[in-house]
Amino acid sequence: MASSASGTEEARVSPLRSVGLVCVFLALCLDVGAVLSPAWVTADDQYYLSLWVSCWKPVSSIQWSCNTTLTTDWQIATLALLLGGVALILLSFLVALVSVCVSSRSRCYKPVAVMLFAAAVLQACSLVLFPIKFIEAVSLRVYHEFNWGYGLAWGSTIFAFGGAILYCLNPKNYEDYY
């Protein structure tokens, strides 16, 4: 009986890991929203910039004029860093999910945490690079703001970092609390 009880203890998923898995899933969802968002920067209903296109509407026209953003090095670098982070978050989510289902999670905690920390660093670099180079390269003479797509990417970065921290914690040290 004693070995059976310890076997069920071993197979139980820690609440820290469960919350970490939820954080990784939320980070992945927010990243998808950020990458697909048409609004990283907007300006007075006349300009918007996403990771893929830059569009503006002349005052006297109802037609939008759009160009790809994949022609400048800083926009390509921003996209590459962000997509690298998305790939790492997706991979860490899959590894964490499989480890929960297969009950081999003790060997997978550290790789998941390392991938999440790496994703958070890549995305943070991307999100710091973007406004610096945008302000340097684009001269808008109207009020502009970094919009919800940019905010979603920051939210994803924060959740990835939080998930990484949760996967680093040793649940045996916190068993008395739950």
What local confidence, expressed as pLDDT, does residue 45 receive? 75
CA distance 69 to 86: 19
Enter the DSSP assignment of 104: -
Tell whether the torsion through CA atoms of 114, 165, 74 and 69 is positive or negative.
positive
Q: What is the pTM of this model?
A: 0.84
Residue 121 C-beta-side C-alpha neighbours within 13 Å: 6
Q: What is the pLDDT of residue 18?
A: 85
Residue range 14-37+72-141+148-171 forms a domain whose CATH class is mainly alpha
Count of beta carbons in the 10 Å neighbourhood of residue 54: 19
Count other Cβ atoms within 10 Å, centred on residue 6: 10
CA distance 175 to 56: 56
> Does residue 47 have a pLDDT over 90?
no
pLDDT at 7 > cutoff 50: no
Lowest mean pLDDT among 15-19, 128-132, 159-163, 164-168: 15-19
81, 130 contact by CB (below 8 A): no
Mean of the pLDDT values across residues 89-101?
Answer: 90
**pLDDT score at 13:** 63
Asked if pLDDT for residue 104 goes beyond 70, the answer is no
End-to-end Cα distance, the chain = 24
CA dist 102 and 16 (Å) reads 18
163 within 8 A of 17, measured Cβ to Cβ = no
Measured between alpha carbons, how far is 153 from 156 in angstroms, rounded to an integer?
5
